[in-house]
């Protein structure tokens, strides 16, 4: 697996797009680096940039961006709502694929050393990259901000990890480190009061609020035996939060950093703020995400809010995202475009979904063209997807049927199973065509000498094996989906029993159709043991599909007759 690091530098400029563009141009100048997102904020006068790349390329891009920011941004003139200490305020590296946190931390230390030594910027390491105890927390390092650092930097405990022990007047100081995936998330309130917003923030953030004797506002601050302030923890783990007023929108917000979304996901943070705000007579009107987030965050949120409504969660990915966006008001302050905010969508290769991304007409036209792909294998996968999609429809209709309210979860679970089968079969529509194209590519390899002939033979063999395994998976999934279809024919909304019947016909067609692909591809494969096993599996699945289809159609016919 290729090693990938995500870098999310925060630059102290959110208004001048020319400056922001010059910084991002530096990032895009590095080969192998993909700029994913640029998210400027006028009120905070801050831009969060997200890019991803192999480790060496990522830290090169980060260095060039930090250098350019130090040249273009004058911190002595900077004003903004967000706490900040430098032109590049913070630059975290995040392990994405094929790399450990410790390896990522080491890369961040290399970057920090280079920034300190070559750019004369004081640099502090934080989170997993920290080498001095007590410097894990960004907010504690940044306390005092740019203005306070001219004195703070001379305190022995705040000597920079790299760079001069003197504040850089123009560029300020920078924090560099390695951390887990963090989501910056703001919740909008129907108030302009920062004090009340802070009260809600203290209610929910893990650190909580300062503990006082007697009156929680005016009482004496409680300290421990070492003289440190004692805090009463908030309700949400792995959450940092403050309240602030955003003049651009005319409302106060709870600004949160969700530092471990496995502990406190976005939807739980949103719901908890709603509860705490309501207890103080304040209403949440919406929220906003800063930067990017993983797809699973929105899918989990969509399912969470559907379950609260006792509605089926077995709906499409797009529908789950829509529910998440509307439930949390992510589009209140501006359009929320998933294709620009979800990491997986930004990294997606459009060619990987060439067929399933087509319209029905375009797909039919492409199938009918003189090109040999898509062929029977892709069509079988698509027919199988349609079959289980019908079962999902019956499950969802049953979940919402009047009088069946106590069974919504039962049908929701079935709909989720149907959706998982549908999603995989849709992937196999393109995968079958890719398998065919690999065979064609292998046959096109040179064969001028013995070495080339052997390489070509091996490539053909590997591609042919894949071309057998892919339709075998289509058969397996379509056959398994018939059990779901049978369940819906038997237990689902009787008004939709004919749809379950059509689903069964589609699923059987998918099994038999993919079986033909297995057989024709086995004819050109030299591994007789693999061929025999594959053909035996295919014949067994065909027999099972024929049997189950008859059973389902008997149920369907009996129910239609009874209704008539």
Residues annotated as catalytic (active site), given as ranges: 82, 432
The tokens of 390 are what?
A: 């019908």
239 three-state secondary structure: strand
Please state whether the peptide bond connecting residue 374 to the residue before it is cis, i.e. omega within 30 degrees of 0: yes
Looking only at the bridges linking them, the beta strands covering 183-189 and 10-11 are unpaired
C-alpha Rg value of the chain to the nearest Å: 29
Q: Shortest CA distance to 327 belongs to which of 270, 365, 379, 384?
A: 270
Distance CA 19, CA 40 (A): 11
Q: Shortest CA distance to 10 belongs to which of 76, 62, 71?
A: 62
Place of tokens 């890019």: 51
CA dihedral over 345, 45, 327, 233, signed as positive or negative: positive
Residues 6+ away with beta carbon under 8 Å from 138: 90, 126, 127, 175, 177
DSSP states of 298-314 as a string? HHHHHHHHHHHTT----
Helices (H) then strands (E): counts for the chain? 17, 13
The tokens of 276 are what?
A: 């705490």
The tokens of 265 are what?
A: 């996901």
User: Which residue blocks in 205-359 are alpha helix, DSSP H?
Assistant: 266-279, 295-308, 317-328, 338-341, 343-347
Total residues found in the chain within this entry: 564
User: Which residue blocks in 11-152 are alpha helix, DSSP H?
Assistant: 17-28, 55-72, 101-119, 138-142, 145-152
Contact between 390 and 485 under an 8 Å Cβ cutoff? The reply is yes
Which long-range contacts (C-beta less than 8 Å, at least 24 apart) are formed by 75-80? 75/12, 75/146, 75/169, 75/170, 75/171, 75/172, 76/169, 76/170, 78/12, 78/13, 78/45, 78/146, 79/45, 80/12, 80/14, 80/43, 80/44, 80/45, 80/46
Distance CA 46, CA 16 (A): 10
Residues 6+ away with beta carbon under 8 Å from 479: 507, 511, 541, 544, 545, 548
Contact between 270 and 276 under an 8 Å Cβ cutoff? The reply is no
Contact between 44 and 82 under an 8 Å Cβ cutoff? The reply is yes
Q: Shortest CA distance to 176 belongs to which of 96, 94, 112, 117?
A: 112
Residue 121's Cβ-side half-sphere holds a number of Cα atoms within 13 Å equal to: 32
């Amino acid at each position: 697996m290729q090693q990938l690091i995500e870098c999310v530098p925060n630059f102290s400029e959110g208004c001048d797009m020319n400056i922001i563009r010059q910084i991002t141009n530096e990032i895009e100048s590095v080969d192998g680096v993909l700029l994913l997102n640029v998210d400027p904020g006028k009120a905070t006068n801050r831009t969060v940039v997200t890019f991803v790349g192999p480790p060496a390329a990522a830290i090169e891009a980060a260095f060039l961006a930090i250098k350019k920011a130090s040249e273009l941004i004058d911190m002595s003139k900077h004003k903004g709502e967000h706490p900040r200490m430098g032109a590049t305020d913070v630059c975290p590296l995040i392990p994405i694929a094929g790399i450990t946190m410790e390896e990522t931390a080491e890369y961040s230390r290399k970057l920090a050393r280079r920034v300190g030594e070559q750019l004369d910027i004081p640099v502090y390491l934080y989170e997993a990259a920290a080498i001095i105890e007590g410097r894990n927390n960004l907010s504690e390092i940044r306390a005092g901000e740019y203005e306070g650092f001219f004195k703070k930097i001379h305190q022995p405990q705040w000597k920079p990890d790299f760079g001069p022990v003197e504040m850089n007047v123009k560029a300020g100081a920078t924090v560099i480190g390695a951390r887990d995936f963090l989501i910056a998330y703001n919740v909008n309130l129907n108030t302009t009061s920062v004090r009340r917003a802070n009260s809600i923030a203290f209610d929910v953030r893990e650190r909580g609020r300062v503990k006082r004797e007697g009156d929680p506002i005016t009482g004496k601050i409680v300290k421990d035996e070492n003289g440190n302030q004692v805090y009463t923890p908030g309700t949400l783990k792995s959450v940092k939060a403050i309240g602030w007023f955003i003049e651009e929108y005319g409302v106060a917000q709870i600004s949160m950093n969700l530092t471990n979304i496995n502990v406190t996901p976005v939807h739980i943070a949103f719901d908890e703020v709603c509860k705490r705000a309501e207890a103080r007579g304040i209403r949440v009107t919406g929220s906003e995400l800063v930067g990017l987030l993983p797809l699973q965050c929105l899918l989990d949120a969509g399912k969470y809010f559907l379950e609260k409504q006792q509605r089926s969660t077995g709906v499409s990915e797009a529908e789950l995202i829509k529910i998440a966006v509307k439930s949390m008001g992510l589009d209140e302050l501006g359009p929320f475009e998933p294709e620009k905010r979800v990491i997986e969508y930004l990294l997606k290769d459009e060619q990987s979904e060439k067929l399933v991304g087509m319209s029905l007409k375009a797909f039919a036209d492409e199938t009918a063209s003189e090109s040999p792909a898509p062929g029977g294998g892709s069509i079988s996968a698509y027919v199988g997807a349609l079959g289980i999609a019908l079962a999902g429809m019956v499950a969802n209709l049953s979940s919402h049927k009047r009088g069946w309210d106590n069974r919504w979860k039962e049908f929701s679970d079935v709909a989720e199973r149907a959706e998982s089968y549908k999603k995989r079969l849709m992937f196999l529509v393109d995968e079958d065509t890719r398998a065919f194209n690999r065979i064609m590519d292998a046959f096109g390899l040179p064969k001028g000498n013995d070495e080339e002939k052997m390489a070509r033979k091996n490539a053909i063999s590997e591609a042919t094996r894949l071309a057998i395994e892919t339709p075998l998976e289509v058969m397996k999934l379509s056959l398994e989906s018939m059990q779901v279809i049978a369940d819906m024919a038997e237990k689902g909304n009787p008004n939709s029993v004919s749809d379950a019947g059509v689903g069964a016909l589609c699923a059987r067609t998918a099994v038999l159709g993919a079986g033909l692909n297995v057989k024709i591809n086995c004819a050109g494969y030299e591994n007789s043991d693999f061929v025999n096993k594959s053909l035996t599996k295919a014949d067994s699945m065909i027999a099972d599909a024929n049997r189950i289809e008859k059973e389902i159609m008997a149920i369907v016919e009996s129910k239609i007759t009874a209704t008539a």
